[in-house]
Amino acid sequence: MTSYCIFQEPWWLDAVAGKNWRSVDVVRNDQIVARMPIVPSRRFGFRVIRQPPLTPTLGPWMQPSTASAAKRISREKVLFNELIDQLPAWDYFEANFHHGLTNWLPFYWRGFEQTTRYTYILNDLLDMEKVWCGLQESVRRNIRKARKVLSVRTDLSVERVLDLTNMTFSRQGRRLSITRDLVRRIDAACAARDARRTFFAEDAQGRVHAALYVVTDANFAYYLFGGADPDLRSSGAQNLLLWEAVQFASGKSLKFDFEGSMIEPIEGVFRGFGALQVPYLQIYAVKPLAKILVQILPRDLIRSLVPSRP
């Protein structure tokens, strides 16, 4: 399967969704020219299509075209409509398109809505001195401070990353929604393809201050998740590890995608690395009957069915 990124690969979808995912395809002359992986499910009687966990983007893929802009857009309209026509019945639909896909007009014409989300990307990592100079001074200062008291290691388990991620969520008063079994499946699938790296910042007493988890494909390294010990946050460990991950991507001739957050404090951290702000599309729709039922459902059920709009 040709894809924009790792998150559309069948083996990734097997890890995050098991047998619950499928792909709607458009075929021309025995070749797939467009496809859209989806994960249909039922939630409290609703038929839902939405992102599986730890999968930041999952939308249509289209065979690249060298045609003129007018012909290309006309072709996209035809192919997108064929994909939409093949979707199974749904009450709620949500998909985050890859940032390389900017045309959602065919979805708009079919009644879907859209909101813009953002990630931060470092596209050029050939000159790391230039990248270093592009960091905000506060970020460089934190990295220098952290280097004095911390060492970076990459040989601890994904379980330790998850432990620290859970600490971060607890400090923020949020509940971690991913399970250890899910993370183990992702880690095993990525390890089999040399498509992941863990980073840990450890002090001389053996305390792990922070950790992060990065996955890779042929073009990008993606920051997937991470966290820090709330009692050791002042060490600058998270900035140090993000910089180590960026250097790792540079060594593999990859770009670095921070998989940007819409949470303001987290966005500020990513922006501080001098990365380019890149918009991507979140497409969603709710059928009329589901809209009515949502009005009378308990709030906790609504949140599990329909995530709040940013």
The pLDDT-based confidence of 128 (bands split at 50, 70, 90) is: very high
Domain ranges of the chain: 6-117+280-305, 126-253
Q: Among 250, 248, 211, 246, which Cα is nearest to 139's?
A: 246
Look at residue 26 in the predicted model and tell me its pLDDT: 96
User: Does the structure show a pLDDT above 80 at 103?
Assistant: yes
Does this model's pTM top 0.75? My answer is yes
Residue percentage of the chain with pLDDT more than 70: 93
Give the whole-angstrom CA distance, residue 102 versus residue 122: 19
Average pLDDT score over residue span 78-82: 96
SS (H, E, C) 47-83: EEECCCCCCCCCCCEECCCCCCHHHHHHHHHHHHHHH
The domains spanning 6-117+280-305 and 126-253 adopt the same CATH topology? yes
DSSP string, 233-256: GGG-HHHHHHHHHHHHHHHTT-EE
Pick the CATH number of 126-253 from 3.40.630.30, 3.40.1550.10, 3.40.50.1980, 3.40.50.800: 3.40.630.30
171, containing H or E segment? helix 158-171
pLDDT over threshold 50, residue 308: no
The whole-number pLDDT of residue 262 equals 75
pLDDT for 296: 56
Average pLDDT over residues 149-165: 95
Read off the pLDDT of each residue in 189-216 and give the average, rounded to a whole number: 97
- What's the average model confidence in pLDDT over 155-160? 94
- Architecture of the CATH domain 6-117+280-305: 3-Layer(aba) Sandwich (3.40)
Structure confidence at residue 66 (pLDDT): 87
What integer is the mean pLDDT of 17-28? 95
